[in-house]
Structures are given as structure tokens and as C-alpha cells.
A and B are shown apart, each in its own frame.
Chain A
Amino acid sequence: MTPGYSGMMLEVDLGQRRAEGRPIDEDVRRSLLGGNGLGAWALYHTLAPGVDAFSPENPLIFCTGPLSGTLAPITPKMCAFAKSPLTGGYMDSISSAQLGTELKCAGYDLLLIRGAAETPTYLRIDDDRVSFEDARSLCGSSTFEAQETIRAAMGDASARVLAIGPAGENRVRYAAILGEHRAFGGGGLGAVMGSKRLKAIVARGTGVVSAHDREGLFNCARRFMARVRQSRAATVLTSFGTPVHTMILQKLGGLPTRNFQTGVIAGAEKLSGEVMRETYTKKVIACPSCMTPCGMVTEVREGEYGGTSTLGPEFQAIATLGSLLGHDRLDAVIALDRLCDELGVGQCSVGNVIAFAMECRERGLLSRTDLDGLDLHFGNHQAAFELVGKIARREGIGDLLAEGVKKASEQLGRGTEDFACEVKGMEMTGFEPRSLKSQAIGFAISNRGPIHNEVRPLAEFFSAVDWNRPEGVGRLAKTLSDWTALANCLVWCLSAERVLDFKPWPVMVELVRLVTGYDVDEASLVTVGERVQTIERLINVREGLTRSADRLPKRFVREALPEGMKKGVRVPQETLDAWLDEYYTARGWNDNGIPTSETVDRLGLRALLEA
């Protein structure tokens, strides 16, 4: 077997309570590496077009990467895949949950779950023994309670669990899956898990992950450590975590505020990484195998949210559960962060949904009666807190809002689509796409919906592109989204990589060579990224998502930012169209955003997709 891989996938049918291991072809591994690539390939082959996201026929897939569980630095992640109940298209979600390493040590690179259980169940993977356990007593329990209970039942502190909370059980379309305190937050994969009546998965693996050159890997990790110790970017990241972005975005006029009505908020400094560090952080921890610890363990000591502790909030939560809701209370963000994780609610989506409802109320389109008596308005974090619970339980107005911004807006009508901020049906992450053009094109082109990491926000500062001209933006977006796809194949951290000064390729090449022994170079790794982007796109095309889905919400196209550094800026449709034309051309897709037959052949995908 190629080092770094177990070479097997575990295929589980919950309806038939059957599990079997199957080999993964060497060609597939070599062409797609793992993580994002392997999962997209498996979804392409197992998702029948047109299947409802909540049908038992929608497969739920978990995947590790070749570097997972080894000494390779900054590779703590694992990926989850399914058809999204928000977008109706391709979805992957990436988390630092540790189950991936256990799965790999149990002998599997990939876990494919089909069907639905008749009664609430959890899946138990104990090396090569797979069983279906009764989870009825866990119904309604928080993600953390479920994990603790199952881990105790396993009798092994090293076993790792993924669990959904009430939101997943109730098919909230943006429900998350939690592993430890790390979430697969985007795209509603927790709801897919809930639709299968699968409360949790536990894995324990006693095998080992091999590496082609263990000593070389050890030395590479040592060199990386020296680099971390000299890196200013690492110092900033480990001092303040991702919340360091709050004040950067505020200065750029791009801190999403009041449902994206503006990009600055008075009191932004109260939401800053600096204040979080000084007032609330009690410990800084790392993801597994990561040398740049940026996980802020925070605690609110006093006030109405006193006694709450959480891992985070990350910047995304500060933006979507803080400024987007029009308040500057970091203690409230910490409490909301914790609540979302307990209930298993995707934070970015729920923040957007609540902001949307607040704007509906502001415009008189939802009354206090419609909102079950909640005095929901921008700035009211207590009402937001209550609403998250109602959404997770699908209670009252929570039932409508559990459908996500797009479906809620469709149901409400009356012009709400003008301020419904979603792309492909998924809510936005916390970077303002008018102030950061990299995000404008990234949100539009991403196969999985508006994700800040498809085209990096920091591209604005390290690329040579003139963002005020149409030329070059589409090509840069292609380059960066290839890099994203490859990073997600490995599966490596898109935040920690800043240690490498945005030149990750040499280290990526070295790590793949050391772990797998594959004779890769930069060009061959770029091709892996291109393959992955194209497979994802082919899945979307089958589901009817083409150029018309690569758009931005009306608000960003029509309304200019009213204040701040980027005052007056919007993203006209003509600009977006020019970017898309160039992006599709660079990818070898036609002008409708569909990969051409020649491109499928050039990338060597024909055999992989027919197999």
C-alpha cells in the first residue's frame, strides 16, 4: 500500500445495517490525493442526480487526507461531503475534528454512508468491527453530551466521536456536525446526518499511519517549527486568533454589519481580537498536529452571559453573530457561539438568517406577532439568543427560519429577495464582498456556495492584480481556487499556512513526497486542484447549477457601501460577468460554466469518472 493511505473505503448502509470495506484504486489516489478530491470523486459516483438532499439516497461521506495523523505540520483537518439541503448541489465541509485520524488508523481513508436507519442510531467503528447502536436515549441531547456518553460507552479515551445536536435531528437546513468542539459548520451536512437518523459516529483505530520517509518528515517538521518561531504572521495569529481580522475589516469598511447594509460598526474594537485576548481568553490551544495554536478558549465571567465558556469564537462568528446582528457585545457572541455548538447549528448561516429576520422586522415585513412576541431588532442579542433555540427546535417562527434565508425569503415574498443575502441558497461568511473583490468573485464561483476560503481574502494584498480592472481577476481566482482545492485534498489548514508567506507550494510538494513517495511537483499538484474543481462543477451541472448560479446577492450588485473606506463601491453585474468569462476560459469550461469534454480529457478525468 502507498504510505499515507490505508487504501480502503468503508461503505455502510444504514437501512440494511450492512458495512463492507472496498479498496480505493491507486489511480484515484494518485490523481486526487485525498480529502476534497477523494470525497468529490466518491460523491460524483454515488449521488444520483436530482435526489432530494434528505432522501436516504443522498450519500454522506467523510474523508481524511494522506498527511492526516502523521508528523506533517498544519494538517489537522478532515472533510465531509453530501448534496447540500441549502444549495441542492455539491457540498464539502472541513473541520479539525479528530475522528479522521481514528478512522485512518482503523483502516479507512473514506467513510461512505448510504440509506437511513429506521430508529435513531449511532455507528460504531472499532477497527474492522462495525456495529449499529441504539441512539434513542441520545435523542435531543447536545452535541457535547452525545460525544461524552458515547466515548464513555466505548471505554477508550482515545476514541473519537462526531455527533449532531437537536438542529440536525430536526433537519435545520444549516445544521452542523461537531467533533470535539470543532464543527463541520457549512452547508447543512448535520441535517443530512439527521435525515438518516444517525445521531453520531464513533471510531477507534489501533493501526498505524505509515510514511514513505519518516525521518525526512521528522526533519521537515523541525524546519517548519523553526519557521513558525520566526514568523511574524504566526505571532499575530497565535496572539489573537482569527478575530485579529475584526479591526482589519472595519478599517477596510468591510465588516459585515446589519445584514450587509453597511461595512462598519460603531464599537468594532469591542469585537476585536485584542479585546478578546485581554478580557475573555483563558487558554490558547492548537488543532491536532498544528504548530500555530490559534484556538482561543474564552470564558465570560460576569454579566448576563456569565459562566459561559467556548472554543472560539472565530472571526466568522464575530462577524455573523456580532456585527451582522448590529451589536458589539463580545460576551454575547461567546454565548451564541457556545449555544450554536451545543445545538449543532451552523454559525454563519444562523447569523445571516437572524440578520435577515431583523431586517424584515425593521422594514415592517415581519411583525412582533409573526416573531412569536420576540422583540427582534438589530442590536438585540438576547432576542437572537432565544431565536437560535427556536430554530434548532423548529418552534414557531424558528420553523420558517430553519429553512435558510433563500427559502424563507421565497415564502415571505414582498420584496424580501432584495436583501436576502445568499448564493446558491447558502448564506454568506464574514467577509464583505464589496470591500474585498477577491470575495466577490470567490463567493460567486465557489461550487459549494459563498465561502471566504475559495479565493483567499488576503489575495487582495499579496497579488499583483489590479482589482479595478476586469483583466486578471478571473485568472487569479482560478489559481487561488486550485490552491484551495489542493490544500483541502491534503487536508491542510488555510489559516495556518500564512506562516509560509502565501508560498505554500514547495512545502506541499515536499510533504506529499515524504509521506506518500509520489513523485509530485508543483505543476502536478496544480493539476490535482484543477481536477477537483472540475469534478465538483460536474456534480453541480448535473443538478442544474451553471452560470446563472454563479452570482452575487442583489444587495452587492445594486447597493453601494454607504460609508467607510470603500464608500460608494458595489459589484456591477457587468464586472462580475467579465470576471466569470475569464475564469471559465482559464478553467477550460464553456461560457455557461460547464467543463468541456476536452477539459475532462486534458485533466485525465474520463477514466476516473467512468470507473
Chain B
Amino acid sequence: MSVRRVVANVASCTGCGLCMIGCSAEHVAGFNARYSWVKVDSDLMGVPAGIRFTHGCDRAHSSQCVFLTEVPSCVALCEPRALRYLVDTEELAS
């Protein structure tokens, strides 16, 4: 069985929050970032300090995200590629 995982790099994150808005739409009947399973914690200025996965997100896209089939929606909406979806790579094994 292949190993699949969403990995986060906060250094690349711009804090736009589209990942959270997209993720929330997977879980509620609309949009509200507070229902997202991925959380970008930013300071008052808007500088992202950390990216967390909550609510039991398995970060493996196992039937949790429905909009796209190839990658989780948080990754699909991440323009700066701070979130990436890795499948069977050495990066995951290390």
C-alpha cells in the first residue's frame, strides 16, 4: 500500500487562508475557516507562525476531501506550495 501524506512548510506560507476556507467546505455546508481541519496560526500582523492538522485529519486524503480526486483541497488551493501532497517519496520515508 502506498504512503501518502500532506506535508506543511510554514516558511513558504503567505497566510492567505485559502487552505482553511477550502477545507471547511469539505466539512460544512458552506465556508468558514473555523471548521477547517488544517489550521494556520498567524499573529496580529498576519505572519503565519505554524500549521496544524486537527479534528483527526489523517493528512492522507483518505475519502475526507471530495472536491478533487487527485489531491486534498487544502493542497490544491495552496498557491505558494506551503502544503504539498506526497505519495511514496523518499521524503516521507525519512
A285 engages B46 (CB within 8 Å): yes
Q: Give the docked Cα–Cα distance between A210 and B46 (Å).
A: 25
B21 engages A285 (CB within 8 Å): no
> B25: CB under 8 A from chain A?
yes
Residues of B within 8 A of A157 (CB): 41
Q: What's the tally of chain B residues with a CB closer than 8 Å to chain A? A: 30
Q: What's the tally of chain A residues with a CB closer than 8 Å to chain B? A: 42
> B28: CB under 8 A from chain A?
yes
Contact with B along A139-172 (1 / 0, CB 8 A): 0000010011000000001100000000000000
- Least Cβ–Cβ distance between A106 and chain B, in angstroms: 10
A206 engages B21 (CB within 8 Å): no
B21 engages A311 (CB within 8 Å): no
A69 engages B21 (CB within 8 Å): yes
Chain B interface, >50% SS class: loop
Q: Give the docked Cα–Cα distance between A207 and B33 (Å).
A: 10
B29 engages A210 (CB within 8 Å): yes
B44 engages A180 (CB within 8 Å): yes
Q: Give the docked Cα–Cα distance between A208 and B17 (Å).
A: 15
> A293: CB under 8 A from chain B?
yes
A residues 47-100 with Cβ under 8 Å of B?
69-71, 73
Give which listed residue, B15, B29, B46, B79, contacts A208 with CB less than 8 A: B29
A228 engages B25 (CB within 8 Å): no
A291 engages B18 (CB within 8 Å): yes
Residues of B within 8 A of A574 (CB): none
B25 engages A214 (CB within 8 Å): yes
A70 engages B31 (CB within 8 Å): yes
**Pair count A-B, CB < 8 A:** 100
Q: Give the docked Cα–Cα distance between A286 and B68 (Å).
A: 24
> A326: CB under 8 A from chain B?
no
A291 engages B30 (CB within 8 Å): no
Known contacts A285-B46, A290-B16, A293-B14; A218 and B32 CB within 8 A of each other: no
Contact with B along A557-578 (1 / 0, CB 8 A): 0000000000000000000000
Residues of A within 8 A of B67 (CB): 214-215, 218
Give which listed residue, A205, A209, A283, contacts B47 with CB less than 8 A: A283
Q: Which residue of A lies closest to B17 (CB)?
A: A288
Contact with B along A353-388 (1 / 0, CB 8 A): 000000000000000000000000000000000000
B residues 1-24 with Cβ under 8 Å of A?
14-18, 21-22, 24
> B51: CB under 8 A from chain A?
no
- Least Cβ–Cβ distance between B27 and chain A, in angstroms: 10
Residues of B within 8 A of A309 (CB): 45
Residues of B within 8 A of A286 (CB): 14-16, 46
Q: Give the docked Cα–Cα distance between A309 and B67 (Å).
A: 40
A293 engages B80 (CB within 8 Å): yes
A209 engages B30 (CB within 8 Å): yes
B16 engages A293 (CB within 8 Å): yes
Q: Give the docked Cα–Cα distance between A311 and B46 (Å).
A: 9
Enumerate 25 A-B pairs (CB-CB under 8 Å) in ascending A order.
A69-B21, A69-B31, A70-B21, A101-B33, A157-B41, A180-B44, A180-B45, A206-B34, A207-B30, A208-B31, A209-B30, A215-B67, A218-B76, A218-B77, A222-B77, A225-B77, A285-B14, A285-B48, A287-B16, A288-B17, A293-B14, A295-B46, A297-B47, A309-B45, A311-B46
Question: Which are the 3 A-B pairs with shortest beta-carbon distances?
Answer: A208-B30, A286-B16, A293-B14
Binding site for A on B (CB under 8 A): 14-18, 21-22, 24-25, 28-35, 41, 44-48, 67-68, 73, 76-77, 79-80
- Since A70-B21, A228-B79, A287-B16 are in contact, a sample of 12 more A-B pairs with Cβ atoms closer than 8 Å, ordered by chain A residue number, is A206-B32, A208-B30, A214-B25, A214-B30, A214-B67, A218-B77, A221-B18, A284-B14, A286-B15, A288-B17, A293-B14, A295-B46
Binding site for B on A (CB under 8 A): 69-71, 73, 101, 105, 144, 147-148, 157-158, 180-181, 205-211, 214-215, 218, 221-222, 225, 228-229, 283-291, 293, 295, 297, 309, 311
